[in-house]
Amino acid sequence: MKRYNPKEIEPKWQKTWAGQGIYRALDFDESRPKFVMLTEFPYPSGDGLHMGHIREYTLGDILARYKRMTGYNVLYPMAYDAFGLPTENFAIKNKVAPQVATETNAANFQEQFESLGYSIDWSRSFKTTDPDYYKWTQWLFLQFFNKGLAYQEEIAINWCPKCKTGLANEEVVNGTHERCDTPVEKKELNQWLLRITDYADRLIDGLETVDYPSRIADQQINWIGRSRGAVIKFKVEGSKSKQIEVFTTRPDTLFGATFMVLAPEHDLVEQIATEKQRKNVEAYVKQAQAKSEIERQDTNREKTGVFTGAYAINPISHEKVPIWIADYVLSGYGTGAIMAVPAHDERDHGFAKKFDLPIIEVVQAPKGFEGCYTGEGEMVNSGEYNGISSSEARDKIVAALANKDMAEEQVNYRLRDWIFSRQHYWGEPIPIIHCKKCGAVPVPDSQLPVKLPPVEHYEPTDSGESPLAEIEDWVSVDCPKCGGAAKRETDTMPNWAGSSWYYLRYYDAHNDRAFADKKKLEYWGSVDLYLGGMEHTTLHLLYSRFWHQFFYDIGLVPTPEPYLARRGQGIILAEDGSKMSKSKGNIVNPNEILDAGYGADALRLAITFLAPYDQTTPWSSETVGGTHRFVARVWSLVQEYLERVQTPISKVQSQDNAASQQILRETHKTIKKVSEDLHEMNFNTAIAALMEYTNALYKIKSDDDFDAREWRSSLATLLQLLAPFAPHIAEELWHDLGYKSTIHTSDWPVHDDQYLIADMMNIVVQVNGKVRANISVAPDADKETILQAAKTEEKVASYLKDQHLKKSIYVSNKLVNFVV
């Protein structure tokens, strides 16, 4: 019998498939619907593919293969996201050029990819660090610049002192740099920013047109943080001109505003603090500056603050209210000042309690409610607004004040513009030339790409300047506008730049006249399904939606959203349930599993079988042992069939002739289950169904009148259903059965309902031990159902009529006896 050796068959088929180009996606194929299956492309690090990658790309591959077999023109592409700090740090440490390190790492990744049998169209691959690619990243940046959406500003930015680079807000997690966990500092630098805030509404509203899991959509909505409210003006008592503007989402509570709070950094603080309070105020401002924003936003913290000595006038009640400063009010949000409503805002409540300030209820809390009521209700203590609902009062109060120019409706966002410069070598140079006369001038299209020059040292500098600034003859250029002496921009783009549009490049990866051809962009449209990690929700996923929406607005792409559907896969943990990490030494290396002889098919099955795809789950070496045994059983089944029957299946005319009803039922049940499961992305239960099916095929061997020909109707189907998960063994056995062309472009089996109707079971019904009837019930019917059916059977019912039923006996699957 032919032996199962994945090390032999897997490389053989990988080579054959590549040679035949069976996974190549066809541009402009109008005979089939298209399907773009996107998985987040990897960063080619020196460590190679890890188990998280294997999970993501295997799931993507299963879907790509399934879609292909069900008649789609599938594009399953892959490339490398290669700019960024890890390679730069590696280059600095090992004294190799990042270009060289990237080549080596990507080649290593590529080899690993190929050993896993993914159905990737490699003809469309690239690295974001290829000048042919980043030429277009630079060109796209200039489209933002030309429309005023890329601008420079001197601002205090988040600075990572370890990586020596500025960071976008999205890269700061709990006050630390998300890559290296170093606490982030503030630094004043002249920065490039992208005006993502112009797209805040679109980024929220667009979510309604796509299919994203709610936790992903919610995270984006919260990050953007749209809140509708009003800006209300308070006059400062004793001053003609000074007024304090506050942003509030609850103008209805204005009668309850019993004090005001300014952020310690607020411009007015210095001007309004009275002589008597000045010392206290100055000391407090100093103390507040030492605190991080994260600390200041912590709601559980003890409230601190000082009175400025000044008062403001509540514009609606005309009451005098004291003005305080406190660090729980942030200078960077709203107007940096609030009207405090201690009866209905938790933070204000805590503050009022601590400093003994008046608390006036203005929205009636439900009966029995204790504490600080933040909901809606009927207005009280609010003059002419008493008795109406708080939502109605909200509009009326703003309207009344707006008449006197004391209020204005406003929408605020938590989202800030995207800080887009990095002070590092290994990124796309920002294609701008600074001229004393003409200002910031874009590099002309004909001079793109602005290539990274070779440098001696890749180390970032302490001054906050990129190492490119030291290369005098690269920096000094003529101004493209006036020809005068000018200097290149030396900052580079963040590593999120190349990934913001990479999916579009797959549609036309080698185009040197455009980032992609219009017709091809139209043919492929939006990505149909995008699989990736949860950690990118407010970074890559938000950034690329912004780029795409802008491209749509300027007519570069035909669709308003880049990804029609998004799914997030869970994390693979170490066997003991902890996070895999180098420092813990608990990383499972996929190469070791392949080398151990399990094979790619068993690995692919195992990582899919572990748990539902979106769950975080520990790796299990037992599982890969199990899936290896499973495919080996499929192998033996086919070999045993071939030994017994000899005629290749493909030569048999009517396959169903010899098939038993039992096998047909199992077959069609499995087709239905696996198809539905793949549609719903229930990959692990699809594998379980294939295992059951295989067991069922083995089981019929023990029948007395078993004829191996009975198997033949089912083996081809089993292999086809298995093909997306374990493509190599499926292909090998398919050819063993005599098929000449590849299984991977064969038509996915379709189930026939007529085989699914289960045989009915016969039950004898007795009354006092005498047979009175036979009933037929479904084989999975439970005892209650069977007893009920027996009782209501006509003849039996007549025997039971007017009798006292003493006992009902049920002998499983055989008989019911009623004792009366």
Return residues touching ligand ANZ (CB under 6 A).
227, 247-250, 253, 329-330, 333-334, 336, 338-339, 341, 344-345, 374, 412
Residue 737 interacting partner from ligand ANZ, Zn ion, none (CB closer than 5 to 8 Å by kind): none
- Among residues 55 and 250, whose Cβ is nearest to ligand ANZ? 250
Question: What is the smallest separation between the CB atom of 369 and ligand ANZ, expressed in angstroms?
Answer: 14
344 touches 253 (CB < 8 A):
yes
Q: Enumerate long-range contacts of 345-349, CB under 8 Å, 24 or more apart.
A: 345/250, 345/253, 345/372, 345/374, 346/299, 346/372, 346/374, 347/299, 347/303, 348/261
Indicate the SS3 state at residue 617.
strand
- Among residues 248 and 559, whose Cβ is nearest to ligand ANZ? 248
Structure tokens at 529: 């399904």
User: What's the rounded Cα separation, in Å, for the pair 466 and 216?
Assistant: 35
Indicate the SS3 state at residue 664.
helix
Question: What is the smallest separation between the CB atom of 380 and ligand ANZ, expressed in angstroms?
Answer: 14
* Secondary element (H or E) of residue 759: none
64 touches 76 (CB < 8 A):
yes
User: What's the rounded Cα separation, in Å, for the pair 137 and 502?
Assistant: 9
Residue 330 interacting partner from Zn ion, ligand ANZ, none (CB closer than 5 to 8 Å by kind): ligand ANZ
Task: Give 302's contacts (C-beta < 8 A, 6+ positions apart).
Answer: 354
Question: What is the smallest separation between the CB atom of 400 and ligand ANZ, expressed in angstroms?
Answer: 17
Structure tokens at 191: 């920065």
313 touches 320 (CB < 8 A):
yes
Q: Which stretch binds Zn ion (CB under 5 A): 111-119, 208-216, 452-460, 471-479?
A: 471-479
Q: Which stretch binds Zn ion (CB under 5 A): 276-284, 290-298, 474-482, 532-540?
A: 474-482
Residue 660 interacting partner from ligand ANZ, Zn ion, none (CB closer than 5 to 8 Å by kind): none
User: What's the rounded Cα separation, in Å, for the pair 406 and 403?
Assistant: 7
User: What's the rounded Cα separation, in Å, for the pair 474 and 463?
Assistant: 19
Indicate the SS3 state at residue 166.
strand
CA distances from 707 to 371, 662, 663 (A): 78, 13, 12
Question: What is the smallest separation between the CB atom of 330 and ligand ANZ, expressed in angstroms?
Answer: 4
Question: What is the smallest separation between the CB atom of 289 and ligand ANZ, expressed in angstroms?
Answer: 16
Residue 732 interacting partner from Zn ion, ligand ANZ, none (CB closer than 5 to 8 Å by kind): none
Residue 584 interacting partner from ligand ANZ, Zn ion, none (CB closer than 5 to 8 Å by kind): none
- Among residues 187 and 434, whose Cβ is nearest to Zn ion? 434
- Among residues 414 and 481, whose Cβ is nearest to ligand ANZ? 414
Question: What is the smallest separation between the CB atom of 253 and ligand ANZ, expressed in angstroms?
Answer: 4
- Among residues 130 and 376, whose Cβ is nearest to ligand ANZ? 376
Structure tokens at 519: 């017709």
Residue 345 interacting partner from Zn ion, ligand ANZ, none (CB closer than 5 to 8 Å by kind): ligand ANZ
Q: Which stretch binds Zn ion (CB under 5 A): 267-275, 367-375, 429-437, 788-796?
A: 429-437
Question: What is the smallest separation between the CB atom of 332 and ligand ANZ, expressed in angstroms?
Answer: 7
Structure tokens at 83: 């700019």
- Among residues 264 and 532, whose Cβ is nearest to ligand ANZ? 264
Structure tokens at 526: 């939006």
Task: Give the E-state strand segments of 46-87 in sequence order.
Answer: 73-75
User: What's the rounded Cα separation, in Å, for the pair 812 and 793?
Assistant: 18
Structure tokens at 59: 């799931």
285 touches 304 (CB < 8 A):
no
Q: Which of 490, 487, 477, 502 is nearest to 563 (CA)?
A: 502
Question: What is the smallest separation between the CB atom of 201 and ligand ANZ, expressed in angstroms?
Answer: 15
Question: What is the smallest separation between the CB atom of 283 and ligand ANZ, expressed in angstroms?
Answer: 21
Question: What is the smallest separation between the CB atom of 492 and Zn ion, expressed in angstroms?
Answer: 22
Q: What are phi and psi of 187, to 5 degrees?
A: -145, 140
Q: What are phi and psi of 253, to 5 degrees?
A: -95, 15
Q: What is the DSSP secondary-structure string of 218-282?
A: HHHHHHHT-EEEEEEEEEETT-SS-EEEEEES-GGGGGG--EEEE-TT-THHHHH--TTTHHHHH
722 touches 635 (CB < 8 A):
no
- Among residues 146 and 798, whose Cβ is nearest to Zn ion? 146
Number of residues that bind Zn ion (CB under 5 A): 7
Question: What is the smallest separation between the CB atom of 399 and Zn ion, expressed in angstroms?
Answer: 51
Task: Out of 54, 232, 479, 715, point to the residue binding Zn ion (CB under 5 A).
Answer: 479
Q: Which residues pair with 35 in a beta bridge?
A: 74
User: For tokens 């169904």, what's the residue?
Assistant: 689
Residue 253 interacting partner from ligand ANZ, Zn ion, none (CB closer than 5 to 8 Å by kind): ligand ANZ
* Cβ atoms within 10 Å of 340's Cβ, excluding its own: 26
CA distances from 204 to 417, 551, 561 (A): 16, 17, 12
Q: Which stretch binds Zn ion (CB under 5 A): 85-93, 110-118, 400-408, 482-490?
A: 482-490
- Among residues 366 and 585, whose Cβ is nearest to ligand ANZ? 366
Does position 487 bind Zn ion by CB under 5 A?
A: no
Indicate the SS3 state at residue 408.
strand
Question: What is the smallest separation between the CB atom of 490 and Zn ion, expressed in angstroms?
Answer: 17
Residue 481 interacting partner from Zn ion, ligand ANZ, none (CB closer than 5 to 8 Å by kind): Zn ion
Question: What is the smallest separation between the CB atom of 622 and ligand ANZ, expressed in angstroms?
Answer: 49
Question: What is the smallest separation between the CB atom of 349 and ligand ANZ, expressed in angstroms?
Answer: 9
Q: Which stretch binds Zn ion (CB under 5 A): 473-481, 487-495, 498-506, 599-607?
A: 473-481
Q: Which of 659, 631, 606, 648 is nearest to 719 (CA)?
A: 631
Helix 85-94 / helix 98-115 crossing angle, nearest 10 deg: 120
Residue 435 interacting partner from Zn ion, ligand ANZ, none (CB closer than 5 to 8 Å by kind): Zn ion
* Secondary element (H or E) of residue 124: none
Task: Out of 18, 180, 399, 482, point to the residue binding Zn ion (CB under 5 A).
Answer: 482
- Among residues 363 and 527, whose Cβ is nearest to ligand ANZ? 363
Residue 338 interacting partner from Zn ion, ligand ANZ, none (CB closer than 5 to 8 Å by kind): ligand ANZ
Residue 482 interacting partner from Zn ion, ligand ANZ, none (CB closer than 5 to 8 Å by kind): Zn ion
* Cβ atoms within 10 Å of 715's Cβ, excluding its own: 22
Q: What are phi and psi of 418, to 5 degrees?
A: -85, 115
- Among residues 345 and 666, whose Cβ is nearest to ligand ANZ? 345
Q: Which stretch binds Zn ion (CB under 5 A): 115-123, 427-435, 526-534, 703-711?
A: 427-435
CA angle 569, 544, 172 (to 5 degrees): 75
Question: What is the smallest separation between the CB atom of 322 and ligand ANZ, expressed in angstroms?
Answer: 16
Helix 661-679 / helix 712-722 crossing angle, nearest 10 deg: 10
- Among residues 445 and 575, whose Cβ is nearest to Zn ion? 445
Residue 329 interacting partner from Zn ion, ligand ANZ, none (CB closer than 5 to 8 Å by kind): ligand ANZ
Residue 438 interacting partner from ligand ANZ, Zn ion, none (CB closer than 5 to 8 Å by kind): Zn ion
Residue 545 interacting partner from Zn ion, ligand ANZ, none (CB closer than 5 to 8 Å by kind): none
User: What's the rounded Cα separation, in Å, for the pair 129 and 720?
Assistant: 39
Question: What is the smallest separation between the CB atom of 147 and Zn ion, expressed in angstroms?
Answer: 21
Chain positions 764 to 783 lying near Zn ion, rule: CB under 5 A, are none
Quick note: the x/- pattern for Zn ion over 434-453, rule CB under 5 A, is: -x-xx---------------
Residue 74 interacting partner from Zn ion, ligand ANZ, none (CB closer than 5 to 8 Å by kind): none
Residues that bind Zn ion (CB under 5 A): 435, 437-438, 479, 481-482, 484
